[in-house]
Structure 1
Amino acid sequence: MNEENQSMISIKDLKMNFGDKQVLKGINLEIQSGQIIGYIGPNGAGKSTTVKILLGILEGFQGQVKVFGEDISSGSIEYKKKIGYVPETAEVYDTLTAQEYLTFIGELYGMDFEIVDKKAQRLVSLFGIGDVYNSRISSFSKGMKQKVLIIASLLHNPDILFFDEPLSGLDANSVMIFKEIITELAAQGKTIFYSSHIMEVVEKISDRIILINGGQIVADGTFSELQTKSSEGSLEEIFNQLTGFNQYKEIASEFISVLKEA
């Protein structure tokens, strides 16, 4: 894919059913290189389903999905070598050491063992966990495991990155490092799909925000564009308005009143 204006991701009329339930109801998207996409929506809206289809994990969809200009229905898996993914909940082989896990992932992507070992060692050191490179992941805290997952997604220098709640468990310093990493990667032309329920972060880092609700895109634009179309101020308030959730204060009050009951 060398054409400057060709989409990194092109989705046309994407529909997906699970049994009788229609989860995606006709998604249309064109994503260019160098964008940080805030891909947000309530639980069950269809975010993870979209991402899993793009990753080639889910089949049986209707519509056309192209990644790097290639229709993913063609059966080729070559495009996956240029994709990185941090799922919201990931199964890590935690009986392995960080070194064993990261070199295993690197080799899956076709990297030479010595190269990936040297690269992984430098990256874990930069992320503040160099002293446990040869320790079993089962002994790691949640934040340390998350750092290993982030490094694993980046090792092969992919062109498209999917992050689902990537800041989970990270300390404040690591959050700052991570935000700077993805900003610089986008500046280099990488495309980043960032999915999170922490609206303040999405609001700050995204060049473009796509809000999905009930299997359909209900908003797509920069944060300032979304603001002009809404009577609300913050992304969290816009999110609540567009997804029809406005009872949070009443629910919280009732919750607290139950706590006070004898």
Structure 2
Amino acid sequence: MTANAPIRTESLTKRYGETVAVRDLTFEVERGEVFGFLGPNGAGKTTTMQMLTTLTRPSSGEAWVAGEPVTDRDAVVERLGYMPEEPPIYDELTGREQLEYVAGLRDLPDGEADRTIRDLLGRFDLAADADDRISTYSKGMKQKTALIQALLHDPQVLFLDEPTSGLDPRAARTVRNLISELREEGMTVFLSTHILPVVEELADRVGVLHDGRLVAEGSPESLTHRAESGEESTLEEVFLEVTSEHPEGEVGADEERSEFAR
């Protein structure tokens, strides 16, 4: 494990009563890397993201984001950007008002906030619509507004939960291009999605969660090449295999991630 990795977990676990939602999760994400986080519904992806973004506390184990322990909420929140699947934006506000509101919550100086908002609106092709109410925005425009507000304070680490879900092809392409640009600029991106082609296109590495355990991890290329047989496969086939070959409760600690090259 790398001590200064922007995202790092060691035996991270979350229990809700008798239910273990995430079990002994250990992995790291390097600086400037897009990490694709996959798993079926109920696998524990949302719980993992909630722990990493300080929205819920781990039951045991440890995690660090941008060098800070996730138990130090103020320090972590200052350094991360988070775009949930249902972003907190207000239809009655204009796009500019929404971003000014978030900048105020972040305590950004007025001059700096104005410059940053102006620059990001232009970059995301929203400048012409910035003073229209968000209620008039398309799904893609709302997604771009949510992504801008996650970037206003120039975070070190960006968490994205289904950022292209429900978008038309053109809007989805815009968001994917923006993620690629952010990676090229050195930002670390944690990308949770069900859309496998997005992961294949964008991710430097992939982690597959099943029943709260990390059952496969590696580059998209390594995960689509069976180490023992040399047979090429699609990421979809790999995903279906590793999330079905270990029924709940049958993955031992020594078996996790053992089938694929990392």
TM score, norm. by length of structure 2: 0.84
Determine which of 20, 25, 28 is the counterpart of 1:27.
25
d(CA) in 1 for partners of 2:147, 2:192: 14
Superimposed CA distance per residue, residues 19-51 of structure 1 (whole angstroms, 9 cap, x where no aligned partner):
221101110012221111000100110111111
Name the one with the larger helix percent. 1
1:5 CA drift (Å)? 6.6
Q: State the match for 2:253 in structure 1.
A: none
Contact 2:25-2:213 at 8 Å conserved across structures = yes
Contact 2:54-2:73 at 8 Å conserved across structures = no
Moved over 4 A (4+): none
Number of residue pairs the alignment of both structures matches: 241
1:68 CA drift (Å)? 2.4
Q: State the match for 1:240 in structure 2.
A: 240
Contact 1:34-1:191 at 8 Å conserved across structures = yes
d(CA) in 1 for partners of 2:122, 2:185: 23
Letter in 1 for 2:147: I
Q: State the match for 1:221 in structure 2.
A: 218
Determine which of 77, 82, 87 is the counterpart of 2:84.
87
Q: State the match for 2:193 in structure 1.
A: 196
d(CA) in 1 for partners of 2:46, 2:182: 23
Q: State the match for 2:156 in structure 1.
A: 159
Superimposed CA distance per residue, residues 4-23 of structure 1 (whole angstroms, 9 cap, x where no aligned partner):
97211221111111222110
Determine which of 88, 104, 109 is the counterpart of 1:107.
104
Q: What 5-or-longer segments of structure 1 have no aligned partner?
A: 246-262
Match of 2:13, SS? Answer: strand
**1:150 pairs with 2:147:** yes
Q: State the match for 1:185 in structure 2.
A: 182
Letter in 2 for 1:68: A
Match of 2:241, SS? Answer: helix
1:84 CA drift (Å)? 0.8
1:60 CA drift (Å)? 4.5
Letter in 2 for 1:236: E
Match of 2:86, SS? Answer: coil
Match of 1:116, SS? Answer: helix
Contact 1:9-1:30 at 8 Å conserved across structures = yes
Match of 2:224, SS? Answer: helix
d(CA) in 2 for partners of 1:195, 1:145: 18
d(CA) in 1 for partners of 2:207, 2:146: 25
Q: State the match for 1:259 in structure 2.
A: none
Superimposed CA distance per residue, residues 128-179 of structure 1 (whole angstroms, 9 cap, x where no aligned partner):
3322211221222222211110111112211101111111344444433332
Contact 1:84-1:162 at 8 Å conserved across structures = yes
Greater shift, 59-68 or 169-178, is seen at 169-178
Q: State the match for 2:10 in structure 1.
A: 12
Q: What 5-or-longer segments of structure 2 have no aligned partner?
A: 246-262
Contact 2:66-2:157 at 8 Å conserved across structures = no
Contact 1:16-1:62 at 8 Å conserved across structures = yes
d(CA) in 1 for partners of 2:111, 2:165: 30
Superimposed CA distance per residue, residues 35-81 of structure 1 (whole angstroms, 9 cap, x where no aligned partner):
110001001101111111011100252111122232222x3512211
1:218 CA drift (Å)? 0.6
Which structure would you say has the larger Rg? 1
1:189 CA drift (Å)? 2.5
Q: State the match for 2:55 in structure 1.
A: 57
TM score, norm. by length of structure 1: 0.84
1:95 CA drift (Å)? 1.6
Sequence identity of aligned pairs in percent?
34
